[in-house]
Amino acid sequence: MKGALGLLDYALGGRLGSFVRYSRAVGIRQTAGFAVCEVLKIRRTFDVRFARVTLRCRTCSTDLRVAVECLSDREYDAVECNNPRVIFDLGAYNGASTVFFATEYPDALVVAVEPEAGNFELLRENTRACANVRTLRAAVWGESGLREVRDSFTGPWGYTICDSPNRSETLHQTVECVTVGDLMERFRVAKIDVLKLDVEGAEKSVFENARGWIDKVQIIAVELHDRIVMGCERAFYLATADFARFKRSSDMVIAYNKVAERVIRVNPPGCTANSHSLSLVAHERGAAAFADQARPSQILTTQNDQGDGPPRAR
């Protein structure tokens, strides 16, 4: 038995542990199909069934891994938020995180942005059934313009628009660069409740140019990539110097501004909120009005389209 397991582990390139984990998430049959394609280097796209949704995933890629992390392991449960109305998923990859946000918060507008053409097409397919999602093929950057998409040889999840000392080559794709402020104008939103950012080093430029929008974001969940571009962490922590709380969860850093922290302390996630919940007051009346109104005596530390215009009314 041990010999058979050792042979299987060798055939899977030392990924027997992942095989077991994926089998628990999506079943042995689906996982075995991916494993066979991995061993034989067969590139295909499968519909993978999770408990609540079906996601299209490519073999010989990181698609299944990301889907399991988002939809089975539920890594974004680490983001503590109540009734978010606007979620930006920047660096949406194959749409797994977007689908998580869209199904977990069906009343929220979820804006998903991805620069690479193949990933973006998969993102559109995987979010087609999510009426509250808007997709846009673009790269998030600190200023508007055009940049090349580059392959850093870490798989489809690692495509970047950054110039890096690490080995990379062009994919011969030129993509529009947009700022967070540009996106807020394009989708006509005044505030962002959750900003998820996984953009392979571009976050350095994003946070170095955050002055115009950073105070309009309540919660940021970011992966920082100093291994790709030095200075990402420094830029992030300087931009969020006025935020109230930070925590780490796996590869993410999650930052909460003072308004979000007050809401969490008064009305923790998971509690039933009435129609006048503090999170809605904060969203609708604005951070300043909420801070004046809700300040306690003791201070608390606290249908899928291309996105060419404003979202359709739901």
pLDDT at 16: 75
Q: What's the rounded Cα separation, in Å, for the pair 56 and 138?
A: 21
CA-closest candidate to residue 195, choices 179, 171, 174: 179
Say if residue 112 is exposed, middle or buried (CB neighbours under 10 Å; 0-12, 13-18, 19+).
buried
pTM to 2 decimals?
0.81
On whether the CB atoms of residues 107 and 134 are closer than 8 A, the answer is: no
pLDDT at 274: 36
Q: What's the rounded Cα separation, in Å, for the pair 242 and 261?
A: 12
pLDDT at 273: 39
Q: Which domains does the chain have, with CATH numbers?
A: 7-73 (no CATH), 79-294 (3.40.50.150)
- Contacts of residue 67, defined as CB under 8 A and 6 or more positions apart, other chains included, come to 48, 50, 55, 57, 94, 96
- Residue 112 host element (H or E): strand 109-114
Say if residue 277 is exposed, middle or buried (CB neighbours under 10 Å; 0-12, 13-18, 19+).
middle
pLDDT at 271: 52
**How does DSSP classify residue 311?**
P
**Cα dihedral 26→29→34→36 (10° resolution):** 160
pLDDT at 169: 77
**Cα dihedral 237→243→249→252 (10° resolution):** -40
Q: What is the pLDDT along the chain (314 residues), one digit of tens a residue?
A: 444 444 455 445 557 778 889 999 999 999 999 999 988 999 999 999 999 999 999 999 999 999 999 999 999 999 999 899 999 999 999 999 999 999 999 999 999 999 999 999 999 999 999 999 999 999 999 999 999 998 876 767 778 888 765 656 788 899 999 999 999 999 999 999 999 999 999 999 999 999 999 999 999 999 999 999 999 999 999 999 999 999 999 999 999 999 898 888 877 776 543 333 333 333 333 333 333 433 332 223 334 444 444 443 33
pLDDT at 55: 97
Distances (CA, A) of 27 to 24, 31, 39, 111, 229: 6, 6, 19, 31, 38
Max CA separation in the chain (angstroms): 67
Tokens at residue 160, please? 């970047």
